[in-house]
Every structure is written in C-alpha cells, then in structure tokens.
Amino acid sequence: MLTDEERATLVKYRQEKAFRVFEEAKDNAKLGHWNLAGNRLYYAVFHMAQALLLSKQITAHTHSGLIHLIGMHFIANNKLDKSYGRLISRLYELRQSGDYDDMYDATEEEVAPFFSQVESLLHDMQNIL
C-alpha cells in the first residue's frame, strides 16, 4: 500500500513519463519509424492513464483493464470525451499490430493524425489530475 506522498510522487513521475514518451513518438515520426511512433503514442497515453487511475487509488493489471477502467471512471461519466475511448482502443490495436503482426508496417497516413488527438488527451487527463 502506498502512502499519499508515495502515490503523489508516482503520479507525477508517470505524468512526466507520458510527455517524454510523446516526444519519443515525435522523434520516431521524424525518422519515418511509424511502427515505433504508434507504439510510443500508445505508451504516452498508457502512462498518463496510469497516473490518472493511480491518483484515484485504482490499479489496472492489464492493458485491456486500463482501457476498461478509464472508460468506466472517466469517459462514462463525461470527465473525458467519448471519442477518447475509441482513440485509446485504436492506439492499442496499432501498437499490437506494429509490435506483433507479421507483414504489417504502419504508415505515416495511418499514424500521423493521432499526434494532435494524443496531445489533447494527455492535456485533458492532466487537467483532471
């Protein structure tokens, strides 16, 4: 069990990590590494979502659990826009395909549109914190 101070420190760390990973996504996009860019976009959201859940003393044990819990605690009650639920699910699928599917390579056209959406989601989640 975390103390309030430990929880606050970990929440802050995960927020900072989310923005660092978002920068990694941009760096990979500049190099044309679209699978990696998609991966980093998903993990930027993942880390911020972990921070958000942890701030409410909620822990997700799987990726799908994290997506479900964000939906249940923040999207269903309109703290986050419903479109973000679809975005998180799509980023997860993109990451899965890029990391594990044979004969799959993400394209710029597929990944680039997510950058502005992810940036908005990160800021909206941070505002809740």
Domains of the chain: 4-128 (1.20.120.330)
Q: For position 36, what pLDDT does the model report?
A: 97
Show the low-confidence residues of the chain (pLDDT under 70): none
pTM for the model stands at 0.95
- Tens-digit pLDDT profile for residues 60-86: 999 999 999 999 999 999 999 999 999
**Token pair of 121 as six digits:** 């989601």
CB-based contact 72:78 (threshold 8 Å): no
DSSP 8-state symbol, 103:
T
- Compute the distance between CA of residue 66 and CA of residue 39 in angstroms, rounded to an integer: 16
How many alpha carbons lie under 13 Å from residue 114 in its C-beta half-sphere? Answer: 32
How many alpha carbons lie under 13 Å from residue 117 in its C-beta half-sphere? Answer: 18
